[in-house]
Amino acid sequence: MNLRILPAPAGTGVVFRRVDLDDFEIEAVGRNVARVSYATSLQKKGVLISTTEHLLSAFIGIGLDNAIVELDNLELPILDGSAKPFVDLVLQAGLKQQRKKRSYLKILRELEVREGNKSIAVYPAAGYSVAYNINFARPIGEQSFEIDLSRDLYRKDVAAARTFGFLREEQAMRNMGLIRGATEENVIVLTETGVKNGPLRFPDEFVRHKVLDLIGDLALLGKQILGRIVADRAGHAMHTALVARLLRDRSLWIETTEAGETPAQGEQRGEPAQLAPQA
């Protein structure tokens, strides 16, 4: 499995390119969301790309707007189960500031998606922040975490949080064709009594990873958000349902190049400009 991240012109967004299928391209936008269960997949004209959320989260976290992502497989590599390897890879290559201003999706009105005791909502705000609450069976229990993405906190507080799973669910998931690349090197494995392959990178690594996933799924809006997201026991399906609802109702938001009261993540100079990987 090979993956390569290439620069793209301003205004391109993130585009996946299947080099094993005649360079077929799939844009990382809400209309191409295929199925969501334990990961988020994109599909266009029958061509599938799976497990996009960690890479897209990394791009939002470091302020990367435009890139071509080449891969020769239907599934992105899981690497260590977090977004950190993607962050490190791009920052090692460097980011190039482009001439076109960054465009934001500014939330104007509250929107809530609810399913039983699960919910996800978005509210108007000057910057971009995410608050998440989870409540799993032991040994996780209830955890909450909040981050202001308008500040340079993603790399320190979110990027390294790894995906996790319960050992008792492993065989059923493999029978469904899921978690094919999962090992104890890239997944936090949970037993009835605790973490099988510790130590954890954060005491609350589980909820931080849910925040990481949410940021990646919301990247499918195609633009960085100016708004506050609050999620309670949500998951990929609810994340992408919020994306679909927002894209369907244009009265909920406007497109703007004004970044708000605080600088956008990854921007230290002047007006917020779009960023792409260095060639």
**Burial of 201 from C-beta contacts in 10 A (0-12 / 13-18 / 19+):** middle
Cα 110 from chain centre: 21
- Given a contact cutoff of 8 angstroms between Cβ atoms, the answer to whether 141 and 135 are in contact is yes
- Given a contact cutoff of 8 angstroms between Cβ atoms, the answer to whether 232 and 120 are in contact is yes
What's the rounded Cα separation, in Å, for the pair 106 and 257? 9
Residue 96 structure tokens: 């190039």
Of the residues 54, 209, 236, 239, which is catalytic? 236
Q: Mind giving me the DSSP string for 100-146? A: EEP-EEEE-S-EEEEETTEEEEEE--SSEEEEEEEEPSTTT-EEEEE
- Given a contact cutoff of 8 angstroms between Cβ atoms, the answer to whether 178 and 37 are in contact is yes
Phi, psi for residue 27 in degrees, rounded to 5: -75, 140
Examine the residue annotation and report whether 236 is marked as an active-site residue of this protein: yes
List, by residue number, the catalytic residues.
236
